[in-house]
Amino acid sequence: MLLFTVRCVKLVLAVNLIGCTGVAQDAVKTQPIYDANPSHLWNRVHAALLCRVGPDGKTYGDDRLEPLLWMHSEHLLRGKSFENAITVLDEFDRESGESLIGAPLKRAILQRDLWLVANWLTQKPDTEEKQRLQKALAKVIRRLALSSEQIKKLPDNYAMAVAAKAASNRFDAAQPERSYLPTQLFDAEGPWVCISRGDGLIAPQHLREDSSSPFTNSVFLVLLKLPPGRAATLEFLQRLAAFQQPYLVANPDEKSRRSIPVLPNATLPNWPKGTEVALVRRAMLIDSEEKIVASPITESIQLRVMRTDTPIPSSAMFEIAKARGNWAFFEFQFRRTDLLGPSPSGLRDVSADRDFKTGFMSHPSDGFDEPPQPSKPFPLGSQPFENIRASCIGCHQLPGLYSFNSLAGFQFGRLQISRDKTAREIGPFQFKAASIPEVEAAAVRWKETQASWKQVDASVNQ
Protein backbone atom coordinates (compact mmCIF):
# COMPACT_ATOMS: atom_id res chain seq x y z
CA MET A 1 0.00 0.00 0.00
CA LEU A 2 2.85 2.39 0.88
CA LEU A 3 4.56 1.68 -2.46
CA PHE A 4 1.28 2.26 -4.31
CA THR A 5 0.77 5.58 -2.49
CA VAL A 6 4.28 6.79 -3.36
CA ARG A 7 3.72 5.90 -7.01
CA CYS A 8 0.42 7.81 -7.02
CA VAL A 9 2.09 10.90 -5.52
CA LYS A 10 4.81 10.75 -8.20
CA LEU A 11 2.14 10.47 -10.91
CA VAL A 12 0.21 13.47 -9.58
CA LEU A 13 3.39 15.56 -9.43
CA ALA A 14 4.29 14.62 -12.98
CA VAL A 15 0.80 15.51 -14.25
CA ASN A 16 0.95 18.90 -12.50
CA LEU A 17 4.23 19.67 -14.27
CA ILE A 18 2.89 18.86 -17.71
CA GLY A 19 2.57 21.74 -20.16
CA CYS A 20 1.11 21.78 -23.66
CA THR A 21 3.59 19.19 -24.75
CA GLY A 22 2.17 16.29 -22.79
CA VAL A 23 5.66 15.69 -21.41
CA ALA A 24 6.72 16.48 -17.85
CA GLN A 25 8.33 19.89 -17.66
CA ASP A 26 11.35 18.59 -15.72
CA ALA A 27 11.92 16.04 -18.48
CA VAL A 28 11.88 18.53 -21.34
CA LYS A 29 13.42 21.36 -19.29
CA THR A 30 10.93 24.02 -20.33
CA GLN A 31 12.27 27.35 -19.15
CA PRO A 32 9.85 29.36 -16.97
CA ILE A 33 9.07 32.73 -18.53
CA TYR A 34 6.76 34.66 -16.24
CA ASP A 35 7.44 33.13 -12.82
CA ALA A 36 10.09 30.87 -11.33
CA ASN A 37 7.42 28.23 -10.69
CA PRO A 38 6.91 26.17 -13.89
CA SER A 39 3.34 25.41 -12.78
CA HIS A 40 2.39 29.09 -12.55
CA LEU A 41 -0.74 29.76 -14.60
CA TRP A 42 0.98 32.25 -16.89
CA ASN A 43 3.76 29.77 -17.66
CA ARG A 44 1.16 27.12 -18.43
CA VAL A 45 -0.66 29.47 -20.80
CA HIS A 46 2.64 30.21 -22.55
CA ALA A 47 3.48 26.51 -22.79
CA ALA A 48 0.05 25.49 -24.08
CA LEU A 49 -0.05 28.10 -26.84
CA LEU A 50 3.60 28.46 -27.88
CA CYS A 51 5.53 25.28 -26.99
CA ARG A 52 5.55 22.12 -29.08
CA VAL A 53 7.23 18.73 -28.95
CA GLY A 54 8.89 17.56 -32.13
CA PRO A 55 9.15 14.04 -33.56
CA ASP A 56 12.50 13.82 -31.76
CA GLY A 57 10.77 14.20 -28.38
CA LYS A 58 12.34 17.59 -27.65
CA THR A 59 10.45 20.76 -26.77
CA TYR A 60 10.65 23.76 -29.11
CA GLY A 61 9.24 27.28 -29.07
CA ASP A 62 10.06 28.15 -25.46
CA ASP A 63 11.31 31.62 -26.32
CA ARG A 64 11.15 32.54 -29.99
CA LEU A 65 9.75 35.50 -31.89
CA GLU A 66 6.64 33.79 -33.28
CA PRO A 67 4.49 30.78 -32.44
CA LEU A 68 5.40 27.52 -34.16
CA LEU A 69 2.37 27.68 -36.42
CA TRP A 70 2.05 27.51 -40.20
CA MET A 71 -0.83 27.92 -42.63
CA HIS A 72 -1.46 24.15 -42.77
CA SER A 73 -0.97 23.56 -39.05
CA GLU A 74 -3.68 21.62 -37.22
CA HIS A 75 -1.97 22.17 -33.89
CA LEU A 76 -4.26 23.84 -31.31
CA LEU A 77 -7.30 22.90 -33.39
CA ARG A 78 -7.60 19.23 -32.59
CA GLY A 79 -6.69 16.57 -30.07
CA LYS A 80 -4.73 17.12 -26.89
CA SER A 81 -3.25 20.47 -27.92
CA PHE A 82 -6.75 21.91 -28.44
CA GLU A 83 -8.00 20.55 -25.11
CA ASN A 84 -4.95 21.88 -23.24
CA ALA A 85 -5.29 25.33 -24.80
CA ILE A 86 -9.00 25.62 -24.02
CA THR A 87 -8.53 24.31 -20.46
CA VAL A 88 -5.76 26.71 -19.47
CA LEU A 89 -7.38 29.74 -21.16
CA ASP A 90 -10.69 29.01 -19.47
CA GLU A 91 -8.87 28.71 -16.15
CA PHE A 92 -7.22 32.09 -16.73
CA ASP A 93 -10.59 33.70 -17.46
CA ARG A 94 -12.43 31.94 -14.63
CA GLU A 95 -9.78 32.63 -11.98
CA SER A 96 -8.97 36.21 -13.12
CA GLY A 97 -5.44 35.15 -14.01
CA GLU A 98 -4.39 38.71 -14.79
CA SER A 99 -4.41 39.42 -11.04
CA LEU A 100 -1.52 36.99 -10.48
CA ILE A 101 1.03 39.29 -12.16
CA GLY A 102 0.71 43.05 -12.35
CA ALA A 103 3.92 43.96 -14.19
CA PRO A 104 2.81 45.88 -17.32
CA LEU A 105 5.62 44.53 -19.51
CA LYS A 106 4.76 40.90 -18.70
CA ARG A 107 1.09 41.58 -19.44
CA ALA A 108 2.04 43.21 -22.73
CA ILE A 109 4.25 40.32 -23.85
CA LEU A 110 1.69 37.63 -23.03
CA GLN A 111 -1.08 39.58 -24.77
CA ARG A 112 1.15 40.10 -27.78
CA ASP A 113 1.82 36.35 -28.02
CA LEU A 114 -1.84 35.39 -27.68
CA TRP A 115 -2.85 37.94 -30.31
CA LEU A 116 -0.36 36.37 -32.73
CA VAL A 117 -2.08 33.02 -32.24
CA ALA A 118 -5.48 34.68 -32.67
CA ASN A 119 -4.29 36.35 -35.87
CA TRP A 120 -3.14 32.99 -37.24
CA LEU A 121 -6.55 31.52 -36.38
CA THR A 122 -8.41 34.04 -38.52
CA GLN A 123 -6.92 32.49 -41.65
CA LYS A 124 -8.06 28.96 -40.76
CA PRO A 125 -11.32 27.37 -41.98
CA ASP A 126 -14.34 28.17 -39.84
CA THR A 127 -14.91 25.24 -37.48
CA GLU A 128 -16.37 24.78 -34.01
CA GLU A 129 -12.86 24.33 -32.59
CA LYS A 130 -11.69 27.56 -34.20
CA GLN A 131 -14.63 29.49 -32.77
CA ARG A 132 -14.10 28.09 -29.28
CA LEU A 133 -10.41 28.87 -29.31
CA GLN A 134 -11.01 32.38 -30.69
CA LYS A 135 -13.44 33.17 -27.88
CA ALA A 136 -11.16 31.74 -25.21
CA LEU A 137 -8.19 33.73 -26.53
CA ALA A 138 -10.25 36.92 -26.78
CA LYS A 139 -11.28 36.72 -23.13
CA VAL A 140 -7.69 36.45 -21.94
CA ILE A 141 -6.48 39.12 -24.38
CA ARG A 142 -9.07 41.47 -22.91
CA ARG A 143 -8.09 40.63 -19.33
CA LEU A 144 -4.43 41.39 -20.07
CA ALA A 145 -5.11 44.75 -21.70
CA LEU A 146 -3.27 47.84 -20.49
CA SER A 147 -4.42 51.42 -20.86
CA SER A 148 -3.03 53.37 -23.81
CA GLU A 149 -0.95 55.43 -21.38
CA GLN A 150 0.53 52.29 -19.80
CA ILE A 151 1.44 51.01 -23.26
CA LYS A 152 3.22 54.25 -24.15
CA LYS A 153 5.26 53.97 -20.93
CA LEU A 154 6.48 50.43 -21.60
CA PRO A 155 10.28 50.21 -21.75
CA ASP A 156 12.16 50.77 -25.00
CA ASN A 157 14.06 47.50 -25.26
CA TYR A 158 16.14 48.74 -28.21
CA ALA A 159 17.47 51.52 -25.95
CA MET A 160 18.11 48.86 -23.31
CA ALA A 161 20.15 46.80 -25.78
CA VAL A 162 22.22 49.84 -26.80
CA ALA A 163 22.84 50.77 -23.17
CA ALA A 164 23.80 47.17 -22.34
CA LYS A 165 26.26 47.18 -25.28
CA ALA A 166 24.69 44.03 -26.67
CA ALA A 167 26.88 44.46 -29.77
CA SER A 168 29.41 46.82 -31.31
CA ASN A 169 27.96 50.18 -32.33
CA ARG A 170 30.25 50.33 -35.37
CA PHE A 171 30.26 48.07 -38.40
CA ASP A 172 33.62 46.36 -38.88
CA ALA A 173 34.32 45.97 -42.61
CA ALA A 174 37.23 43.65 -41.84
CA GLN A 175 34.95 41.37 -39.79
CA PRO A 176 31.58 41.66 -41.56
CA GLU A 177 29.90 39.05 -39.35
CA ARG A 178 30.94 40.66 -36.07
CA SER A 179 27.81 41.55 -34.13
CA TYR A 180 26.70 45.09 -34.95
CA LEU A 181 23.80 47.14 -33.56
CA PRO A 182 23.75 50.83 -34.53
CA THR A 183 22.79 53.62 -32.16
CA GLN A 184 20.33 56.48 -32.81
CA LEU A 185 17.96 54.37 -34.92
CA PHE A 186 14.93 56.22 -33.55
CA ASP A 187 16.53 59.64 -33.11
CA ALA A 188 14.31 62.09 -35.05
CA GLU A 189 17.30 64.26 -35.91
CA GLY A 190 19.91 61.54 -36.13
CA PRO A 191 21.61 59.95 -39.16
CA TRP A 192 18.87 57.37 -39.71
CA VAL A 193 15.88 58.49 -41.77
CA CYS A 194 12.50 56.79 -41.38
CA ILE A 195 10.94 56.28 -44.82
CA SER A 196 7.34 56.53 -45.95
CA ARG A 197 5.87 56.21 -49.42
CA GLY A 198 2.85 57.84 -50.97
CA ASP A 199 0.98 54.74 -52.12
CA GLY A 200 0.64 53.07 -48.71
CA LEU A 201 2.68 51.12 -46.18
CA ILE A 202 6.44 50.97 -46.54
CA ALA A 203 6.63 47.17 -46.06
CA PRO A 204 3.45 45.88 -47.73
CA GLN A 205 4.79 42.39 -48.42
CA HIS A 206 5.32 41.78 -44.72
CA LEU A 207 1.71 42.76 -43.98
CA ARG A 208 -0.19 40.84 -46.65
CA GLU A 209 -3.18 39.12 -45.06
CA ASP A 210 -2.83 35.86 -46.96
CA SER A 211 -0.51 32.89 -47.04
CA SER A 212 2.47 35.28 -47.02
CA SER A 213 2.19 35.82 -43.28
CA PRO A 214 -0.21 34.81 -40.52
CA PHE A 215 1.43 37.25 -38.07
CA THR A 216 0.67 40.86 -38.99
CA ASN A 217 0.30 42.50 -35.58
CA SER A 218 3.36 44.69 -35.97
CA VAL A 219 4.42 48.13 -37.09
CA PHE A 220 7.20 47.88 -39.67
CA LEU A 221 9.67 50.73 -39.96
CA VAL A 222 12.21 51.06 -42.76
CA LEU A 223 15.16 53.27 -41.88
CA LEU A 224 17.94 54.30 -44.22
CA LYS A 225 21.39 55.78 -43.60
CA LEU A 226 23.85 56.85 -46.31
CA PRO A 227 27.49 57.19 -45.17
CA PRO A 228 27.69 61.01 -45.33
CA GLY A 229 24.79 61.36 -42.92
CA ARG A 230 21.21 62.58 -42.66
CA ALA A 231 21.43 65.38 -45.23
CA ALA A 232 22.78 63.01 -47.90
CA THR A 233 20.06 60.46 -47.13
CA LEU A 234 17.32 63.08 -47.45
CA GLU A 235 18.79 64.33 -50.72
CA PHE A 236 18.90 60.78 -52.08
CA LEU A 237 15.20 60.24 -51.23
CA GLN A 238 14.32 63.44 -53.06
CA ARG A 239 16.17 62.28 -56.18
CA LEU A 240 14.48 58.88 -56.01
CA ALA A 241 11.01 60.43 -55.66
CA ALA A 242 11.69 62.71 -58.63
CA PHE A 243 12.81 59.86 -60.92
CA GLN A 244 10.22 59.67 -63.73
CA GLN A 245 11.62 56.90 -65.91
CA PRO A 246 10.81 53.16 -65.77
CA TYR A 247 12.73 51.29 -63.08
CA LEU A 248 13.30 48.38 -65.48
CA VAL A 249 14.44 48.43 -69.11
CA ALA A 250 14.99 45.75 -71.75
CA ASN A 251 18.24 43.83 -71.48
CA PRO A 252 20.42 44.96 -74.43
CA ASP A 253 22.55 41.80 -74.33
CA GLU A 254 21.18 39.22 -76.77
CA LYS A 255 23.03 36.30 -75.15
CA SER A 256 21.48 36.74 -71.70
CA ARG A 257 18.15 38.28 -72.74
CA ARG A 258 16.27 34.97 -72.75
CA SER A 259 17.03 34.22 -69.08
CA ILE A 260 17.27 37.87 -67.97
CA PRO A 261 14.87 39.86 -70.16
CA VAL A 262 15.03 43.08 -68.16
CA LEU A 263 17.60 44.97 -66.09
CA PRO A 264 17.44 47.93 -63.72
CA ASN A 265 17.53 51.31 -65.39
CA ALA A 266 21.16 52.45 -65.22
CA THR A 267 20.07 56.05 -64.59
CA LEU A 268 18.11 55.16 -61.46
CA PRO A 269 19.64 56.93 -58.43
CA ASN A 270 21.61 54.45 -56.37
CA TRP A 271 23.33 54.46 -53.03
CA PRO A 272 27.04 54.13 -52.24
CA LYS A 273 29.14 51.57 -50.43
CA GLY A 274 28.52 51.76 -46.68
CA THR A 275 24.80 52.50 -46.97
CA GLU A 276 22.76 50.81 -44.23
CA VAL A 277 19.13 49.70 -44.19
CA ALA A 278 17.18 48.68 -41.08
CA LEU A 279 13.82 46.92 -41.09
CA VAL A 280 12.37 47.30 -37.60
CA ARG A 281 9.37 45.38 -36.33
CA ARG A 282 7.56 46.78 -33.28
CA ALA A 283 4.63 45.23 -31.45
CA MET A 284 1.07 46.46 -31.63
CA LEU A 285 -1.11 45.85 -28.57
CA ILE A 286 -4.82 46.02 -27.75
CA ASP A 287 -5.59 48.54 -25.03
CA SER A 288 -8.25 48.48 -22.32
CA GLU A 289 -10.65 50.33 -24.63
CA GLU A 290 -10.20 47.55 -27.20
CA LYS A 291 -8.28 49.78 -29.60
CA ILE A 292 -5.03 49.00 -31.41
CA VAL A 293 -2.03 50.90 -30.05
CA ALA A 294 1.57 50.97 -31.30
CA SER A 295 3.98 50.07 -28.51
CA PRO A 296 7.68 50.87 -27.97
CA ILE A 297 8.54 47.14 -27.81
CA THR A 298 10.96 46.27 -30.62
CA GLU A 299 10.38 42.69 -31.72
CA SER A 300 13.18 42.49 -34.25
CA ILE A 301 15.72 44.56 -36.20
CA GLN A 302 17.05 43.31 -39.53
CA LEU A 303 20.15 45.18 -40.71
CA ARG A 304 21.92 45.29 -44.05
CA VAL A 305 25.20 47.08 -44.72
CA MET A 306 26.28 47.61 -48.34
CA ARG A 307 29.87 46.33 -48.61
CA THR A 308 30.55 47.23 -52.26
CA ASP A 309 29.74 49.96 -54.71
CA THR A 310 26.70 49.18 -56.83
CA PRO A 311 27.72 47.69 -60.20
CA ILE A 312 26.40 48.99 -63.51
CA PRO A 313 23.30 46.89 -64.33
CA SER A 314 24.15 43.90 -66.50
CA SER A 315 23.53 40.18 -66.59
CA ALA A 316 26.78 39.77 -64.63
CA MET A 317 25.10 41.52 -61.70
CA PHE A 318 23.25 38.28 -60.91
CA GLU A 319 26.48 36.33 -60.69
CA ILE A 320 27.79 38.96 -58.28
CA ALA A 321 24.64 38.50 -56.22
CA LYS A 322 25.19 34.74 -55.99
CA ALA A 323 28.59 35.37 -54.46
CA ARG A 324 26.84 36.97 -51.46
CA GLY A 325 29.52 39.57 -51.06
CA ASN A 326 27.41 42.69 -51.53
CA TRP A 327 25.84 42.82 -48.10
CA ALA A 328 26.55 42.20 -44.45
CA PHE A 329 23.43 40.99 -42.64
CA PHE A 330 22.42 41.08 -38.98
CA GLU A 331 19.24 40.28 -37.12
CA PHE A 332 18.33 41.05 -33.52
CA GLN A 333 15.21 39.71 -31.82
CA PHE A 334 13.73 40.11 -28.39
CA ARG A 335 13.72 37.12 -26.07
CA ARG A 336 11.34 36.96 -23.13
CA THR A 337 13.97 35.56 -20.78
CA ASP A 338 16.26 38.50 -21.61
CA LEU A 339 13.54 41.12 -21.48
CA LEU A 340 11.72 39.91 -18.37
CA GLY A 341 14.70 38.59 -16.41
CA PRO A 342 16.59 40.19 -13.53
CA SER A 343 19.15 41.79 -15.88
CA PRO A 344 17.18 42.93 -18.94
CA SER A 345 19.27 43.13 -22.09
CA GLY A 346 16.56 44.10 -24.57
CA LEU A 347 17.58 42.34 -27.79
CA ARG A 348 19.71 39.37 -28.81
CA ASP A 349 21.82 38.88 -31.94
CA VAL A 350 20.35 35.79 -33.63
CA SER A 351 22.09 36.23 -37.01
CA ALA A 352 24.03 32.97 -36.75
CA ASP A 353 21.18 30.99 -35.17
CA ARG A 354 19.32 28.33 -37.06
CA ASP A 355 15.59 28.43 -36.47
CA PHE A 356 12.29 27.38 -37.95
CA LYS A 357 10.94 29.63 -40.66
CA THR A 358 7.52 30.92 -39.58
CA GLY A 359 5.50 33.96 -40.50
CA PHE A 360 6.59 35.96 -43.51
CA MET A 361 6.99 33.94 -46.72
CA SER A 362 7.38 30.63 -44.89
CA HIS A 363 6.38 27.30 -46.39
CA PRO A 364 2.79 26.37 -45.41
CA SER A 365 3.43 22.83 -44.15
CA ASP A 366 4.00 21.97 -40.50
CA GLY A 367 7.08 19.82 -39.91
CA PHE A 368 5.88 18.91 -36.42
CA ASP A 369 2.87 17.14 -37.91
CA GLU A 370 4.83 15.22 -40.52
CA PRO A 371 6.21 11.71 -39.89
CA PRO A 372 9.99 11.51 -39.40
CA GLN A 373 11.99 11.08 -42.60
CA PRO A 374 15.50 9.53 -42.51
CA SER A 375 16.55 11.78 -45.40
CA LYS A 376 15.39 14.92 -43.51
CA PRO A 377 16.13 14.46 -39.82
CA PHE A 378 14.09 16.76 -37.61
CA PRO A 379 14.56 19.65 -37.16
CA LEU A 380 17.67 20.72 -39.10
CA GLY A 381 16.95 18.63 -42.17
CA SER A 382 13.61 20.36 -42.67
CA GLN A 383 14.98 23.92 -42.58
CA PRO A 384 15.73 25.73 -45.86
CA PHE A 385 18.56 27.97 -44.59
CA GLU A 386 21.74 27.28 -42.66
CA ASN A 387 21.05 30.28 -40.39
CA ILE A 388 18.90 33.41 -40.06
CA ARG A 389 21.53 35.54 -41.82
CA ALA A 390 21.26 33.33 -44.90
CA SER A 391 17.48 33.69 -44.96
CA CYS A 392 17.93 37.48 -45.31
CA ILE A 393 20.16 36.93 -48.32
CA GLY A 394 17.40 34.86 -49.90
CA CYS A 395 15.19 37.92 -50.37
CA HIS A 396 17.78 40.72 -50.64
CA GLN A 397 20.54 39.28 -52.77
CA LEU A 398 20.83 41.97 -55.45
CA PRO A 399 23.30 44.81 -54.84
CA GLY A 400 22.51 48.37 -53.86
CA LEU A 401 19.07 49.88 -54.32
CA TYR A 402 18.04 46.80 -56.32
CA SER A 403 17.73 44.85 -53.06
CA PHE A 404 15.24 47.42 -51.74
CA ASN A 405 12.02 45.44 -52.14
CA SER A 406 9.78 48.35 -51.17
CA LEU A 407 10.40 49.50 -54.76
CA ALA A 408 7.98 47.70 -57.06
CA GLY A 409 10.01 45.85 -59.65
CA PHE A 410 12.68 44.66 -57.22
CA GLN A 411 11.33 41.84 -55.08
CA PHE A 412 12.96 38.91 -53.33
CA GLY A 413 16.27 39.13 -55.14
CA ARG A 414 14.64 39.04 -58.55
CA LEU A 415 13.34 41.55 -61.06
CA GLN A 416 9.57 41.72 -61.31
CA ILE A 417 8.54 41.55 -64.97
CA SER A 418 5.30 41.18 -66.90
CA ARG A 419 4.07 37.85 -68.27
CA ASP A 420 5.30 38.68 -71.76
CA LYS A 421 8.76 39.28 -70.28
CA THR A 422 8.94 42.91 -71.22
CA ALA A 423 9.93 45.83 -69.05
CA ARG A 424 7.09 47.29 -67.06
CA GLU A 425 6.30 50.98 -66.91
CA ILE A 426 6.44 51.26 -63.12
CA GLY A 427 5.64 54.73 -61.88
CA PRO A 428 7.80 56.34 -59.22
CA PHE A 429 6.83 56.08 -55.59
CA GLN A 430 6.88 59.26 -53.58
CA PHE A 431 9.44 58.15 -51.05
CA LYS A 432 9.94 60.69 -48.33
CA ALA A 433 11.20 61.09 -44.82
CA ALA A 434 8.53 60.55 -42.17
CA SER A 435 8.32 60.59 -38.41
CA ILE A 436 7.99 57.28 -36.62
CA PRO A 437 4.60 58.31 -35.10
CA GLU A 438 3.31 58.98 -38.65
CA VAL A 439 4.29 55.51 -39.82
CA GLU A 440 2.87 53.93 -36.66
CA ALA A 441 -0.45 55.71 -37.15
CA ALA A 442 -0.64 54.51 -40.76
CA ALA A 443 0.07 50.93 -39.68
CA VAL A 444 -2.67 51.06 -37.02
CA ARG A 445 -5.18 52.45 -39.54
CA TRP A 446 -4.28 49.67 -41.95
CA LYS A 447 -4.68 46.97 -39.32
CA GLU A 448 -8.10 48.31 -38.32
CA THR A 449 -9.36 47.62 -41.87
CA GLN A 450 -8.14 44.01 -42.04
CA ALA A 451 -10.29 40.91 -41.72
CA SER A 452 -7.93 39.48 -39.10
CA TRP A 453 -8.60 42.40 -36.76
CA LYS A 454 -12.33 42.43 -37.42
CA GLN A 455 -12.58 38.75 -36.40
CA VAL A 456 -10.51 39.28 -33.26
CA ASP A 457 -12.38 42.48 -32.42
CA ALA A 458 -15.72 40.69 -32.78
CA SER A 459 -14.50 37.87 -30.50
CA VAL A 460 -13.24 40.36 -27.89
CA ASN A 461 -16.59 42.15 -27.85
CA GLN A 462 -18.71 39.00 -27.49
Q: Is 415 helix (H, G, I), strand (E, B) or coil?
A: strand
- Reading the chain (462 residues) residue by residue, the pLDDT tens digits are 334 333 443 333 333 333 343 333 333 356 799 999 999 999 999 999 999 998 888 899 999 999 999 999 999 999 999 999 999 999 999 999 999 999 999 999 999 999 999 999 998 999 999 999 999 999 999 999 999 999 999 999 999 999 999 899 999 999 999 999 999 999 999 999 999 876 667 877 777 776 678 899 999 999 999 999 999 999 999 998 888 888 888 888 888 888 888 888 889 899 999 999 999 999 999 999 999 999 999 999 999 999 988 888 888 877 766 666 788 999 999 999 999 988 788 899 999 998 888 888 777 888 888 777 777 778 766 566 678 887 777 777 788 888 887 777 676 666 766 555 555 555 556 788 999 999 999 999 999 998 888 888 777 666
How is 240-293 classified by DSSP, letter by letter? HHH--S-SEEE---HHHHTT--EEE-TTS----TT-EEEEEEEEEEE-TTS-EE
Radius of gyration for the chain, computed over Cα atoms and rounded to the nearest angstrom: 24
Handedness of CA 387, 165, 404, 197 (dihedral sign): positive
d(CA 174, CA 193): 26
With beta carbons less than 8 A apart as the criterion, state whether 447 and 205 touch: no
Q: What are phi and psi of 4, to 5 degrees?
A: -65, -40
> Which pLDDT does position 204 carry in this prediction?
73
Pairing mode of beta strands 262-264, 327-333: unpaired
> Which pLDDT does position 427 carry in this prediction?
56
> Which pLDDT does position 285 carry in this prediction?
98
> Which pLDDT does position 3 carry in this prediction?
40
Helix (H) or strand (E) holding 118: helix 104-121
> Which pLDDT does position 10 carry in this prediction?
36
d(CA 433, CA 445): 19
Helix, strand, coil in percent for the chain, rounding step 5:
35, 15, 50
> Which pLDDT does position 359 carry in this prediction?
84
- List the domain boundaries for the chain: 2-144, 150-360+379-455
Rounded alpha-carbon distances, angstroms, from residue 77 to 19, 74, 84, 127? 17, 5, 10, 9
